[in-house]
């Protein structure tokens, strides 16, 4: 029997399994943030939430729930994320493998006729710019923007839930430097 859902849709039963499994997570305080259900809270996910989800939580949450096509695509995406955000030593082979994974992922999206809205600038950058950036500058994981996200989050706490460039620039210039947010 053929699946009545488009390739990019997870069925109600699959979503329920994902939500049920989300309640099983307990993380220690050093993990950063508590786990938020990817199905229920997707709109509020930050880059760190996505990173934790891809690298840690998705192995359990998605286990046996995705269609074979989505499973294959998820594994390709995971491989690329683990390379670009991982702590493994950078190598040409690893960079090529991550780039190939992203290109295969994008090709499968096109082949399976995913909606146009999924072909984002971030996908383009990941497929076309990150490999070149790594060849020229080394591991992309050394230049990820988690630092900026934390700084923006801090400014939002100070000035309220909205941000504007002028207020952020003044806060940055008057009170703190970015070095305050960078910890290695």
- The reply to whether 135 falls in a domain is no
Per-residue pLDDT for 136 more than 70? yes
**CB burial class (10 A; 0-12, 13-18, 19+) of residue 172?**
middle
Q: What is the mean pLDDT of residues 161-182?
A: 49
Q: Work out how many domains the chain is built from and give that number.
A: 2
CA max distance for the chain: 64
Per-residue pLDDT for 137 more than 50? yes
State both tokens at 105.
């992922």
Q: Which of 43, 65, 87 is the last residue of a domain?
A: 65
Compute the mean pLDDT over every residue in the chain, rounded to the nearest whole number.
77
Which tens digit of pLDDT belongs to each residue from 40-99? 888 888 877 888 888 888 988 899 998 899 999 999 999 998 888 877 778 889 999 999
Q: For residue 90, give the DSSP letter.
A: P
Range of the domain at 58: 9-65
pTM attached to this predicted model: 0.69
Which tens digit of pLDDT belongs to each residue from 95-118? 999 999 999 999 999 998 888 888
- The reply to whether 157 falls in a domain is yes
């Amino acid at each position: 029997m053929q699946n009545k859902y488009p390739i990019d849709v997870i069925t109600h039963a699959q979503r329920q399994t994902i939500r049920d499994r989300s309640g099983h997570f307990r993380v220690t305080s050093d993990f950063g943030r508590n786990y938020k259900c990817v199905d229920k809270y997707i709109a509020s996910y930050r880059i760190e939430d996505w990173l934790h989800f891809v690298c840690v939580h998705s192995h359990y949450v998605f286990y046996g729930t995705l269609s074979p096509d989505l499973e294959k695509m998820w594994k390709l995406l995971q491989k690329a994320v683990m390379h670009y955000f991982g702590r493994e030593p950078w190598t040409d082979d690893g960079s090529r493998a991550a780039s190939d994974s992203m290109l295969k992922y994008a090709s499968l999206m096109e082949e399976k006729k995913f909606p146009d809205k999924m072909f984002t600038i971030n996908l383009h950058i990941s497929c076309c710019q990150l490999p070149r950036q790594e060849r020229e500058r080394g591991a992309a994981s050394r230049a990820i923007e988690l630092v900026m996200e934390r700084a923006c989050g801090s400014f939002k706490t100070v000035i309220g839930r909205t941000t504007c460039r002028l207020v952020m620039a003044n806060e940055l210039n008057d009170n703190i430097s970015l070095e305050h947010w960078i910890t290695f």
